Amino acid sequence: MAPTTTEGTSNGSAKPNNEEQQQQPAPSLFEIDDSDLTRLLEKPRPVNIERKRSFDERSFSEMSITMSPPRNNFYRMSENSSRAFDNLDGVYSPGRWTGTPRSGYFEPHPIVGDAWEALRRSMVNFRGQPVGTIAALDNSSEDLNYDQVFVRDFVPSALAFLMNGEPEIVKNFLLKTVFLQSREKKVDNFKLGEGVMPASFKVLHDPVRNIDTILADYGESAIGRVAPVDSGFWWIILLRAYTKSTGDTSLAEMPECQRGIRLIMTLCLSEGFDTFPTLLCADGCCMIDRRMGVYGYPIEIQALFFMALRCALLLLKRDCEGNDCIDRIVKRLHALSFHMRSYFWLDIKQLNDIYRYKTEEYSHTAVNKFNVIPDSLPDWVFDFMPTRGGYFIGNVSPAKMDFRWFCLGNCVAILSSLATPEQSSAIMDLIESRWGELVGEMPLKICYPAMESHEWRIVTGCDPKNTSWSYHNGGSWPVLIWLLTAACIKAGRPQIAKRAIELAESRLLMDQWPEYYDGKLGRFIGKQARKNQTWSIAGYLVAKMMLEDPSHLGMISLEEDKQMKPQMKRSASWVC
């Protein structure tokens, strides 16, 4: 691969330094001059941590949970103590610092203090300011790219910091990444879209000149050259979480952030040959960043797309440029919610309908619109589908339905209210009745079931990392527990999350916070799993904090938009 140049950046502000480029271990990565960002970071903007009705509450009805008073940085106290809670009289009870004796209903689990310490150790500084967390701090195995700050991996870290009243690192990260977005990005000779956000970045320290520089990867260094489609969506979702949590609207209102949102929207709302409102992607474009048969219209991307569209709607200013974008978002949201709720949804009734589908139907009257051949229904799905319950399937496109269950997409569907309240309850019912398969001994299966033998060979290209019930192919990922917890609280079923968290905390510290577990029940530490994987640590902390104080949910959840109701009937798509 030809070395990438940093010359000709889109805003002309990057000053490539050849000397530094030569010293860099990975010449294909982009070097960034961050003087602009440093200037911004040095100019502190007032952050109002006080809880007040944040701006998106104006447009969406509030949760019934009463908001808590401002939080203290309780967990900051753990910095110099291995057990954060041992010597404290005042306790952090759900949502408030009481200063009174420990209340009976919240006893922090002993591993919480260790988790905070591990999370703080993973913090990455840029010119003296924290800007993210490293993917894994595991010295026992090769770094590969685990020494980078991944956008998607930072989300649970960011939420943990926000929930603990420490928004600075999140603000720095959001600014840092929006600057990285504005650089020119190329894979070989091909220029990527302006709105593309990096998958990850790395801070390099030059001890001679005592200066930090940033290298970002937009897919041009990634294994398989996969495109980080989810990064931009997570960035918007996190910007809204920051705004909601702090009440500080000034960050989102900055012209740089407004432009960042618009560029991401331009990328994914552009017109093309598409016949569906869902977003067409190549394989490996999200958390599952290897070939796993998720190409087409993967549920993870569609759910994140939907959530990002809704967050963008809340964050965009109603000015000339914003208004045009807003109009397009509103139209897309309507089409997308109809499409997803109708065609991606599977329950026993829908399964039975597909089982009896006629094929080769033409015209608007077709019932089997995508010409799915009933013989393509896999055997396992008949056993997996409970009488009560349902879920959004993995993918829908012409003659293709991927019936696999994917955890992230279904949880985000609940959080974004892409799922109707009935669908959210049905997803919870499914998790409860398929507990052994989806949770087993370690939460949580990234997807279910695993592909085996011939299918594994064809679909993954014989990937030795994605063998059956390992890694992305049916492995169990502790990070997903924060998404499950948030979804459970939103759906009014927190006891499901509590059960899962208890399972996780019985092993996570002892096993040194693995990245993933292997086996049908998730009983084994993953064969190539990193230890001290930051998002396993942060995911656990976020889950704990949310369960203890459900008002935290507001920063990562969106109430149902009444305008998207009533749900249209399946057969009504041509008259909507």
**Interacting positions 243-302 with ligand GLC (CB under 6 A):** 287, 289
Q: Which stretch binds ligand GLC (CB under 6 A): 73-81, 149-157, 320-328, 539-547?
A: 149-157
Give the shortest CB-228-to-ligand GLC separation in angstroms.
9
Smaller CB separation from ligand GLC, 289 or 437 = 289
Among 150, 276, 456, 524, binds ligand GLC (CB under 6 A): 150
CA pair distance 279, 271, nearest whole angstrom = 11
Smaller CB separation from ligand GLC, 277 or 514 = 514
Give 452's contacts (C-beta < 8 A, 6+ positions apart): 468
Half-sphere exposure of 379 (CA within 13 A, CB side): 1
Smaller CB separation from ligand GLC, 237 or 336 = 237
Q: Which stretch binds ligand GLC (CB under 6 A): 34-42, 120-128, 145-153, 483-491?
A: 145-153
Give the shortest CB-230-to-ligand GLC separation in angstroms.
9
Q: Where are the beta strands (DSSP E) in 192-332?
A: 200-206, 211-217
Smaller CB separation from ligand GLC, 40 or 292 = 292
Smaller CB separation from ligand GLC, 449 or 526 = 526
Smaller CB separation from ligand GLC, 287 or 415 = 287
Give the shortest CB-271-to-ligand GLC separation in angstroms.
30
CA pair distance 386, 406, nearest whole angstrom = 16
Q: Which of 288, 285, 279 is nearest to 396 (CA)?
A: 279
Joined tokens for residue 47: 């952050």
Smaller CB separation from ligand GLC, 217 or 289 = 289
Joined tokens for residue 102: 């420990």
Q: Where are the beta strands (DSSP E) in 207-359?
A: 211-217, 345-347
With CB under 6 A as the rule, give the number of residues binding ligand GLC.
6
Asked if 6 contacts 32 with a C-beta cutoff of 8 angstroms, the reply is yes
Query: Does 135 contact ligand GLC by CB under 6 A?
Result: yes
Distance of CA 511 to the CA centre of its chain: 24
Residue with tokens 């701006």: 55
Give the shortest CB-150-to-ligand GLC separation in angstroms.
4
Give the shortest CB-41-to-ligand GLC separation in angstroms.
25
Smaller CB separation from ligand GLC, 154 or 392 = 154
Using CB under 6 A as the criterion, what x/- string covers residues 347-386 for binding ligand GLC? ----------------------------------------
Smaller CB separation from ligand GLC, 153 or 437 = 153
Q: Which stretch binds ligand GLC (CB under 6 A): 56-64, 68-76, 146-154, 545-553?
A: 146-154
Smaller CB separation from ligand GLC, 198 or 260 = 198
Joined tokens for residue 130: 């924290």
What spatial distance separates the first Cα and last Cα of the chain, rounded to whole Å? 48
Q: Which stretch binds ligand GLC (CB under 6 A): 15-23, 148-156, 169-177, 537-545?
A: 148-156
- The SS3 call for residue 468 is coil
CA pair distance 124, 132, nearest whole angstrom = 5
CA pair distance 295, 280, nearest whole angstrom = 8
Smaller CB separation from ligand GLC, 149 or 333 = 149
Distance of CA 98 to the CA centre of its chain: 33
Smaller CB separation from ligand GLC, 246 or 410 = 410
Give the shortest CB-148-to-ligand GLC separation in angstroms.
8
Give the shortest CB-493-to-ligand GLC separation in angstroms.
26
- The SS3 call for residue 54 is coil
Give the shortest CB-292-to-ligand GLC separation in angstroms.
10
Q: Which stretch binds ligand GLC (CB under 6 A): 2-10, 147-155, 242-250, 359-367?
A: 147-155
Give the shortest CB-152-to-ligand GLC separation in angstroms.
5
Inter-CA distances, 325 with 112, 294, 560, Å: 43, 28, 21
Give the shortest CB-310-to-ligand GLC separation in angstroms.
23
Using CB under 6 A as the criterion, what x/- string covers residues 3-22 for binding ligand GLC? --------------------
On the question of a cis peptide bond just before residue 449, with omega within 30 degrees of 0, the verdict is yes
Give the shortest CB-184-to-ligand GLC separation in angstroms.
24
Give the shortest CB-365-to-ligand GLC separation in angstroms.
42
Distance of CA 137 to the CA centre of its chain: 21
Smaller CB separation from ligand GLC, 34 or 463 = 463
- The SS3 call for residue 461 is coil
Q: How many Cβ atoms are within 10 Å of 369's Cβ, its own excluded?
A: 16
Asked if 442 contacts 503 with a C-beta cutoff of 8 angstroms, the reply is yes
**Interacting positions 46-75 with ligand GLC (CB under 6 A):** none
Give the shortest CB-217-to-ligand GLC separation in angstroms.
11
Among 54, 122, 152, 451, binds ligand GLC (CB under 6 A): 152
Inter-CA distances, 370 with 14, 190, 346, 401, 475, Å: 47, 33, 15, 9, 30
CA pair distance 386, 378, nearest whole angstrom = 15
Residue with tokens 């905070």: 116
Half-sphere exposure of 76 (CA within 13 A, CB side): 11
CA pair distance 445, 176, nearest whole angstrom = 32
User: What is the contact surface with ligand GLC in residues (CB under 6 A)?
Assistant: 135, 150, 152-153, 287, 289
